[in-house]
């Protein structure tokens, strides 16, 4: 019998108020039920937010270094449980063990980095324009943070949000993706085991319309951190703006890798294989477009096709598997529909392009790694996010043309260029419209201590990771200390 998981609200593991539940299944074998979960609604969200609000004063007055020590212990526990967490994550969302281990490691790295920031929530001091007066700024938490996370990195991305939010002194209501709630439950268990006070974190499972939007709308939620699709992000921004909530959005991407004629072609080949087909292309930073210089286009493409056709599909728990399933039937249908769009637009299907049902894959959502050539910049498969193992290959003649083609989308998350020419690398760094640019590396490979996010419709200007995320989760308070013993009227007395 499948395990019955629960919400964590007001310091207790509990069912949804409605009593309703939903199933979570293994996308590599849809017959395998991971567990059932509370199908929560606005009533559950309200209880969670109000409980988190009651815990806020005690938590914000806990010294930041002490808050950081709890996050450090959570990192230690993640390290201890790494293999078990990785295996359960692979069962839940499909990507291979090598990648789920990396997902957990990213959470560990984020924990250790965030813990140290508990001793570094720096403000500024500045000289006053008046005598016997001291000026400074300090950082303070905002209150209850609503965190809504995606399914493709079910541990790493929640840690990007929740660890900094907690170190900064906020309390958190966490609504994970309905496709990966088991990983979220284990994560909350670890936080509690690490010593986090029981009402500082709340876990509410459910779907976007019935649980996610009530969290965004709740008047006692001070800020929202969301990772997901651009259409949903726009909806969240619109709703949250009515209450002037602070909102961080990390949204879609249509990332491209440029390969110039002077590049190390074997290195570039390894980069695009990993960037395009790791996590079955289900990363916001996945390489969705490959922009090849005409001098190496034919040779590179032929070699790439041979390598892609050797990739092995299967259950991510098997050591021989290179590519796991896509997350669910809806995503599989969407990807297949885009493959048909590519055919209809006149792109050449070089390999893949169909559902894969051989052997043990028959009960899962597998798509053969797919490559289209003869793609033009205005085709939909060159401009729209597919979020699957589909690569569009475009041919260019110059670096300037390559950058124009790369920039020709509404997204701007990650980018990559392979070149041996330093001037070309610096020109690309300057002119590519993206939040992240890799030189001689694939479009994936973020590090916990560096800012992560994009431009254009990829986000709203905030960054996750690194120091900027601690700025998002805090308010600046400016403090003036006048020890002159008399009234000083700033500019009036400074004329």
Q: Which residue in the list 92, 106, 250, 457 is annotated as catalytic?
A: 250
CA distance 288 to 78: 32
Contact 173, 52 (CB under 8 A): yes
Q: Which of 284, 350, 457, 464 is catalytic?
A: 284
Task: Tell me if residue 250 is catalytic.
Answer: yes
In DSSP terms, 416 is beta-bridged to 257, 438
How many C-beta atoms lie closer than 10 Å to residue 134's C-beta?
13
The answer to whether the CB of 167 falls within 8 A of the CB of 57 is no
CB-CB neighbours of 39 under 10 Å? 19
Alpha helices in 242-354 (DSSP H): 265-277, 297-308, 329-345
395, 297 in Cβ contact below 8 A?
yes
Active site residue 92: no
Judge contact between 177 and 151, C-beta under 8 A.
yes
Burial of 10 (0-12, 13-18, 19+ CB in 10 A): middle
What angle (nearest 5°) sits at the alpha carbon of residue 263, between those of residues 257 and 267? 70
Closest CA relative to residue 324, chosen from 374, 280, 356, 364: 280
CA–CA distance, 300 with 104 (Å, rounded to integer): 34
Catalytic residues: 250, 284
């Amino acid at each position: 019998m499948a395990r019955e998981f629960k919400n964590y609200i007001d310091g207790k593991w509990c069912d949804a108020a409605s009593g309703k539940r939903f199933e979570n299944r293994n996308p590599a074998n849809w017959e395998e039920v991971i567990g059932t979960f509370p199908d929560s609604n606005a009533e559950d969200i309200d209880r969670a937010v109000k409980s988190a609000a009651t815990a806020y004063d005690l938590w914000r007055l806990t010294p930041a270094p002490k808050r950081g020590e709890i996050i450090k212990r959570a990192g230690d526990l993640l390290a201890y449980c790494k293999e078990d967490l990785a295996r359960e994550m692979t069962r839940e969302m499909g990507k291979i063990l090598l990648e789920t281990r990396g997902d957990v490691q990213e959470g560990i790295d984020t924990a250790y980095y965030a813990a140290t920031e508990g001793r570094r929530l720096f403000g500024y001091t500045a000289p006053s324009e008046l005598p016997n007066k001291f000026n400074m700024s300090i950082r303070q938490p905002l209150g209850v943070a609503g965190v809504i996370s995606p399914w493709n990195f079910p541990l790493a991305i929640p840690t990007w949000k929740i660890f900094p939010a907690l170190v900064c002194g906020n309390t958190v209501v966490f609504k994970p993706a309905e496709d990966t709630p088991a990983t979220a439950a284990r994560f909350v268990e670890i936080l509690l085991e690490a010593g986090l006070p029981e009402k500082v974190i709340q876990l509410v499972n459910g779907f976007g319309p019935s649980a996610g939007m009530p969290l965004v709308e709740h008047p006692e939620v001070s800020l929202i951190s969301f990772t997901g699709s651009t259409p949903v992000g726009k909806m969240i921004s619109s709703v949250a703006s009515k209450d002037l909530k602070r909102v961080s959005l990390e949204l879609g991407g249509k990332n491209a890798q440029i390969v110039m004629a002077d590049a190390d072609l074997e290195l570039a080949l390894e980069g695009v294989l990993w960037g395009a087909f790791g996590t079955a292309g289900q990363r916001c930073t996945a390489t969705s477009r490959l922009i090849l210089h005409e001098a190496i286009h034919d040779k590179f493409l032929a070699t790439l096709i041979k390598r892609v056709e050797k990739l092995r599909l299967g259950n991510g728990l098997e050591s021989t598997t290179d590519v796991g399933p896509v997350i669910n039937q809806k995503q599989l249908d969407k990807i297949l529909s885009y493959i048909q769009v590519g055919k209809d637009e006149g792109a050449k299907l070089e390999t893949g392009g169909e559902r894969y049902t051989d052997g043990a894959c028959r009960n899962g959502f597998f798509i053969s790694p797919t490559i289209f050539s003869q793609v033009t910049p205005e085709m939909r498969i060159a401009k729209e996010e597919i979020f699957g193992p589909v690569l569009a290959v475009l041919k260019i003649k110059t670096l300037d043309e390559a950058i124009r083609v790369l920039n020709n989308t509404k997204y701007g998350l990650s980018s990559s260029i392979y070149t041996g020419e330093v001037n070309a690398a610096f020109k690309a760094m300057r002119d590519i419209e993206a939040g992240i640019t890799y030189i001689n590396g694939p479009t994936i490979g973020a590090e916990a201590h560096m800012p992560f996010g994009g431009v254009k419709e990829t986000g709203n200007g905030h960054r996750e990771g690194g120091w900027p995320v601690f700025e998002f989760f805090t308010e600046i308070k400016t403090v003036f200390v006048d020890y002159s013993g008399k009234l000083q009227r700033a500019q009036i007395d400074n004329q």
